[in-house]
Amino acid sequence: MFLALHEIRRAKVRFGLLSGAVGLLVFLILFQQALLGGLINQFIGAIEHQSGEVLVYNGQARKNLEGSIILPAQEEAIAAVEGVGEASPLGEATFTVMAGGSVTDAVLFGYVLGKPGAPTTLIEGRLPEGPNEAVASEKDRDDGFDLGEVVQVQPDGVSITVVGIARDINYSVSPVLFTDFATYESAKRTRNPDAETILPSAIAIHLAPGANAAEVAQRINDEVEGVQALTRQQAVDGSPGVSSVRSSFVIILGLFYLVVPLVTGLFFLIVTFQKASALTLLRAIGARSRTLVSALLIQVLLVMAVGSLIAFGLYAVALQGVQNLGVRVEVMPAVYTSLVVLVLALSTSLVAVRRVLRLDPLAATTGVGVHL
């Protein structure tokens, strides 16, 4: 420990620059991860945070809720499948609304009150208890979707009062209102007053006790013609655009996870070469290999710890500027990321450790030079 700290004190600039570089790289990893989570929530938060454990789409919709409708006969057949506890219509459509004195677009999700499809991340207020009430997204509070605000479907459609606020329920990067199915039907008739029946976009399902979501979804696909049943996670992962966004970020994050340990490992390998004579002399006067290796690993730990602290500070400050994307500072993912990076850095530093273990203390006395 003394040897490691003494060397760091003598080379503050060198180790300080490395800690700063590591901090910047770890910050970029954390920021990209947070940005990915925020973007995904903006795309499909409403699907991920509704109570239906299985969602059934029209088979031709290709996992796109906007292009899906479920026929009455299909709804009856779905409800009769083994493992289905409750099957309830879930409507989804984008409307032009007046909110906060401005005209904007919002997505309405209509569900039968007390049935599957309700938002699950309520943080303030309550769920709808009757017609013309809704739960809105926390992100859009300042845009006319706060508690007590009245949102009117245009032109001259139903007026909806916001009675609850939920977290991460946006859809297609738009404000969302979760309302009862009757209010959703009224909004749809604003567009088409002559419509006799408003068909649901999907069927949301609560499982029977002991049933497995994946098995029930497969059973529905096998027994009901013309539908595609998905578990909630499958519906999230399969939503249009989500997989491509995720794939792009995975490539970027993979490169960052590769660069951090390479930079750290290369730095300590170069430093080990530079101080080869001093290390050999230490071995010659009785220093054990274990002592030298421990000093090296302690330096890696200290550099990564300081770098992580720098990264956390930058991460917390930077996310203040992207709060409009629903991105938040989350402690545990940041800690897990730092631990992964630390393990990778220690792994690449084993090359420098191997060089230290190869030191021959006799080289300090023979006059033939020091070689690692």
**Six token digits for residue 218:** 């497969």
Q: Tell if the pTM clears 0.75, that is, is over it.
A: no
Write down the pLDDT at residue 357.
66
Per-chain mean pLDDT for the chain? 84
Cβ burial, residue 328 (10 Å; 0-12/13-18/19+): middle
Question: pLDDT tens-digit profile of 29-79?
Answer: 888 887 777 777 788 889 999 999 999 999 888 888 888 999 999 999 999
- Identify the pLDDT of residue 370: 47
Letter string b/e over residues 88-125, b meaning 16 or more CB atoms within 10 A of that residue's CB: bbbbbbebebbbbeeebebbbbbbbbebbbbbebbeeb
**pLDDT value at 366 more than 70:** no
CA atoms 46, 49, 55, 60: torsion sign: positive
DSSP 352: H
What are the start-end ranges of the E strands in 28-69? 54-58
C-alpha distances out from residue 255 to 26, 37, 318, Å = 12, 18, 21
CA distance 45 to 137: 10
220, pLDDT greater than 80: yes
- Which burial class, exposed, middle or buried, applies to 261 when counting CB atoms under 10 A from its CB (0-12, 13-18, 19+)? buried
pLDDT of residue 191: 81
Find out whether 195 and 189 touch, Cβ atoms under 8 Å.
yes
Dihedral, 76, 81, 82, 86 alpha carbons, nearest 10: -40
Task: Please identify which residue in the block is written with the tokens 């004579």.
Answer: 277
Domain range annotation of the chain: 2-43+242-366, 46-238
Euclidean distance between CA atoms 323 and 121, whole angstroms: 18
Handedness of CA 187, 191, 192, 198 (dihedral sign): negative
pLDDT band for position 329 (cuts 50, 70, 90) = low
Tens digit of each residue's pLDDT (9 = 90 or more) over 136-172? 998 888 889 999 999 999 888 899 999 999 988 989 8
The yes-or-no verdict on residue 92 having pLDDT over 50 is yes
For helices 289-319 and 242-274, what crossing angle results, to 10°? 140
Predicted confidence (pLDDT) per residue in 225-261, tens digit:
999 999 999 998 888 777 777 777 888 888 888 888 8
- Please check whether residue 87 is in contact with residue 200, taking contact to mean a CB–CB distance below 8 angstroms: no
